[in-house]
Structure 1
Amino acid sequence: MRINSKLLGALLALSFGHSSMAMAALNIFACEPEYGALAKELAPGAKIYTATTAMQDPHQVQARPSLIAKMRQADLVACAGADLEIGWLPMLQMKSANAAVREGSNGLFFGADQVEPLDKLANVDRSMGDVHAKGNPHLQFDPERMLKVARAFSDRLKQLDPEAAADYEAAHADFAARWQAATTRWQAQAGPLKGKKVIAYHTTFRYLFNWLRISQEADLEPKPGLPPTSGHLASLVERAKAGDILAIVVASYQDERGARWLSDKTGVPVLILPASVGANDQSQDLFGLYDNVLAQLLGGK
């Protein structure tokens, strides 16, 4: 039996098309766990690699060969931005030689570029410590800003993969509806925290405290980026003993020793909050991250 050549060609083209679509699943390189988690929400069919964990300081990452190899394969790199990754991302971009994710390309996405960050600085010098002139990059703890980032992230996915635009839009609509409902719930739960005061390590939770109207009265760091010193910790004792400090807050990747010393001297409890998704069993996605942070602050740990 002779096979119609046009029919055969059509079948081969259809087969090749399906194969190409299967291969078209985006490779997403997330610099931090919160952006890996957001990618899972908005692009569930993508191949997602997260370069760091919630137990690592995202300021301090080594440009390892394994990270270079992953970036070489990436269609999209999603990071916090505001120079949080300035010490390692440019090296990965250079060594991976991936034109799709270089500066100015659609394949490079910074969360901080999609919103107005807190604490922008017009002038920065070394005497100020490790500060970010472009603003605080730890915006994963602001639900309203994260919703705006999600919208921009979804739009970027559609630019890179227009054939799946309807799927990305549907995923975004689902995430946004669940996120807005959760935000309403979180705000109601967090009512008792308004006006509370804490001592914290760095400005990791700046957006969280701003959202919840919690005041960070002091920093365990003498200057941003410098570890606590004995002299600086001693200067915090009287403030911590004032009786109005809810907790001494440390992120999951930060050294607890200074906080524990201050707690022993003053009786103020230490809270080790997850810095991002995956820091503990309760914070395995963005929703769980917020649930767990609020539970700990409210005393439900």
Structure 2
Amino acid sequence: MTDRDTDNSDILDLLPRLSHADAGVRRIALIELADLEDPEGLPWLTDALASDDAAEVRAEAARLLEAWEEPEVVQALCAALADGAEPVRLAAAQSLSELKSLEAGRLILPWVNHADAFVRSSALRALRELRLEEAASPALLALDDPEAPVRREAVGILGWLRHEPALPELARLASDDPDTEVRRAATGALGLARDAHVLPALHAALRDDAWQVREEAATTLGKVGLGEAGPALVRALEDDYWQVRLRAARALGRLRHRPALGELAALLGHGIANLRKEAALALGELGDGAALPALHAAEADGDPEVRKAVRIALAQLQGAA
């Protein structure tokens, strides 16, 4: 541990333990140092992260630095993404993802070009929720990264930024990427704009081999809110996976797609309560009195959440009438 000048008596009291031969003693001393919440203690934390011999101490330092956004802390955490020990890398990535300032994001930005895929993906993950406009260009480039985790995080950035110029590339990934999670993320990101040009890609995603992608496609079609999606969503009510059916029912309700009334009413008899609940709520949103007989029949459903959804739907229909 590097010696540094300080006149803070609390920090001075910790110095012998911060340089103790026992890694466990050093780790506990770091925790006590962080509890002081004194910026004067940061150099000891960043030194421990960069140079302590024990991975457990470096990982602890990375965790303890998550509340600080000083430039030296951000740089130390970014450098730790390339640490030789996985617990240290993971802790640094998590702490970086907690940062909130755009200034911190600008310090992270150069790391998206690092040679190591974990560093690239972690840097992109940290940038995602900051909504830093400067991150759009490197994220677009990262859509062609050979590593799936990097592509997935790049998709997340473009979705959070609602970066409409990325829509063609996102549509390509939603249809063609070999990784299920990338296709799923890209499918979700297509909901960033109410744009009919994304419908072909979303309709294709509704036929994806992976049910998780089909589920995301149904959700996104509801968010995009274009009535042309109705027929494809009705077909999705017959999907082999109830999770896809549930999202399709929810989307049809949001779209108020009345031609789906018969199929939604049929789902009130499904064996899975969550699906019956979503079907009831969707029927209420349709605003069509023709759903009243099916909803009244479902008032005695054995699941209390379904009965509650039926009451909500009946109230909506009665209000519409």
Same fold (TM over 0.5): no
Task: Report the TM-score when normalising by structure 1.
Answer: 0.30
Structure that is richer in helix per residue: 2
Task: Report the TM-score when normalising by structure 2.
Answer: 0.28
The structure with more radius of gyration: 2
Structure that is richer in strand per residue: 1
